[in-house]
Chains A and B, each alone.
Chain A
Amino acid sequence: MRPAPRGIRPMHEHTATAMGVQGCPVCTAVLPIGTPYCARCGTHGHTLERAGMTWNGSMQRTWAWLLTSVLLYLPANFLPIMYTRTWGNLRESTILGGVLTLWGHGSYPIAIVIFVASVLVPVGKIVILVWLCLSVQLRYKSARRYKTRLYRITEFVGRWSMVDVFVVGILVALIRLGNVMTILPGPAALAFAGMVFTTMLAAGSFDPRLLWVREA
């Protein structure tokens, strides 16, 4: 990465809100706060209101999506993610069970990939977002740069959890050898996909600028 050019300077340490303007989240145009409609890209409604921070629904939405994702994560872990049918025997496997089986078979890299994508990333994401929400609401002002970076990482890695859902999809589509071996998806697959989507929506609803508000 290259360093920022020397010419970059903050406008007297002023935030856009303090200057009575807002950045359009879609096209980065600078607009007066309260503009109903971005003249440059045509964005309007909630998206712009959020950008002007006049809309205080960001926290509620984030909490709601977070709660939904936690509720979906429970069945995603406890219900089977896929069934394996061999000669009339039906075997269930859960996410953690699958990781342990892979580890037992010695496929350590794959076990680690699945563990990171299906357990570490979702749990870490939910914990980080809860912490960020709490620090906004309890007005913890410390380590803002660090928290903003955490938020950025959370937003970036969220999609990668879908790996496990895709693996189930591929196995179901591929392993259809009749009596010899057939793989069927379990209810946890959809619950897990729902969990990934709701954590992505939670991260998208959270407004990182709230971490930087001086006097809330």
Chain B
Amino acid sequence: MGVTDFPAVHIACHECDLLVALPVLRPGQHAYCPRCNFLLTANRPDSQSKIFAYSIASLICLALANLFPFITLNARGMEQSVTLLGSVAILATEDHRLLAAVVFASIAVIPALLLCGLVYVSVAIRIGRELPGARTCLRWTIALAPWNMAEIFLIGILVSFIKIVSLADVELGLSFWAYALFTFGVVLVSLNFDRRELWDLLDAARAAGHSSHA
């Protein structure tokens, strides 16, 4: 029995293992597992373009978030201003290296890798050619997705903001707003992310590449 015996129209539910025949989904339709109600796949209009656009926009915002002060603190005439990278550096130099690494990885490195991976895969899909390593790239992107914690960090900032307000004057810097936009972009990307659709498009890109070479 080969792959072709169950062609692309079938899908095995990730959560209850039911084998389901998928109809062609119209734009905006979502396919749920009839047994356990798991979202199998969805046809989200223009999801590929959205992923591409939001990923690039978020990466630009993340780069901007590193350029300006993140938070400025003013207490009894002492002013202290930290940048995003600077705050991680403070944690690292004061011998809290593991904490610094965990925080930095989950709020910046992993989301950035995720977005870069999606940009690369999107480029492969858009130019209709299989770029080297695009498949490995998408596989890693899917594996990294649960470890992205950008939006949680944003809530963390707001909570600490409220905690500090009683002690000192706090001012959110330009970088904070850039980071907030970055987070917003990451959420929009994850809302349009469908692994089945991305693999289908990558397969189509490979097929297009083969036919143009032949």
Contacts and interface: CB of A to CB of B under 8 A. Distances in A.
Interface of A: 1-2, 4-11, 13-17, 19-23, 25-32, 39-43, 53, 102, 105, 107, 110, 113-114, 144-145, 148-149, 151-152, 159-160, 162-177, 180-181, 184-185, 189-190, 193, 200, 204, 208-209, 211-212
Closest 7 CB pairs of A and B: A7-B23, A23-B12, A166-B156, A173-B87, A16-B12, A30-B6, A27-B199
A145 B3 contact: no
Contact of A8 (B21, B152, B164): B21
B10 A25 contact: no
A42 to B, nearest CB: 6
Interface in B81-136: 82, 86-88, 90-91, 94, 96, 98-100, 102-103, 106-107, 135-136
Contacts of A167: 156, 159-160, 163
8 contacts: A5-B31, A7-B22, A17-B17, A23-B14, A23-B17, A27-B138, A173-B91, A174-B164
A169 B6 contact: no
B158 to A, nearest CB: 9
A5 B42 CA distance: 11
Interface residues of B, number: 80
Given A15-B18, A28-B41, A159 B146 contact: yes
Given A173-B87, A173-B90, A181-B75, A209 B199 contact: no
A128 to B, nearest CB: 15
B99 A209 contact: no
Interface string B141-161: 011001101001101110110
A172 B99 CA distance: 11
Interface in B149-206: 149, 152-153, 155-157, 159-160, 162-164, 166-167, 195-196, 199, 203
Nearest to A105: B166
Contacts of A39: 3
B20 A10 contact: yes
Interface string B42-70: 00000000000000000000000000000
B19 A14 contact: yes
Nearest to B159: A167
Nearest to A107: B162
B15 A148 contact: yes
